[in-house]
Amino acid sequence: MGNVIELSEQDFDALVLQSDVPVLVDFWSPSCGPCRLIAPLLDVLATENGEAAKIVKINTFENMTVAARYGVDMLPTIMIFRNGNVVERMIGAVDKARMQEALDEAMG
């Protein structure tokens, strides 16, 4: 999985909401085909962005409370958080360029 961090409900707030850099969160599940399709793109984004942003994944079936908190009802759902707030929301197998564009805007 490279530099992509696998989160749980227990560490979501600390690693996402309290992060001092923008965070791309992939809400996914192992049974989701499009989720598996974008997984390699997330690895590349994590490598290319280094310390400027965090790339994290959270399994929605194992962490339903967080998914419900953010109204995740389709997978994959990608959200960009900055200063604890959602600044971008994308649904489906989004391409790498679109995810990087959203991260760039969040890094401003």
What does the alpha-carbon distance between residue 61 and residue 70 come to, in Å, rounded to a whole number? 14
Q: Above 70 in pLDDT, residue 68?
A: yes
Sign of CA dihedral 74, 27, 47, 53: positive
Return the H-helix or E-strand segment holding 42: helix 33-49
Q: Which of 2-11, 14-23, 35-44 has the lowest mean pLDDT?
A: 2-11
Catalytic residue among 4, 15, 25, 32: 32
Q: Above 90 in pLDDT, residue 59?
A: yes
Residue 3 annotated among the catalytic residues of the structure: no
What does the alpha-carbon distance between residue 27 and residue 25 come to, in Å, rounded to a whole number? 6
What is the arithmetic mean of pLDDT over 15-41?
A: 97
Residue 40 annotated among the catalytic residues of the structure: no
Q: Above 70 in pLDDT, residue 49?
A: yes
Question: Domain 5-102 belongs to what architecture?
Answer: 3-Layer(aba) Sandwich (3.40)
C-alpha distances in Å from residue 84, one per residue of 7, 35, 62: 16, 24, 22
Q: Above 80 in pLDDT, residue 10?
A: yes
Catalytic residue among 23, 24, 25, 35: 35
How sure is the predictor about 27, in pLDDT bands with cuts at 50, 70 and 90?
very high
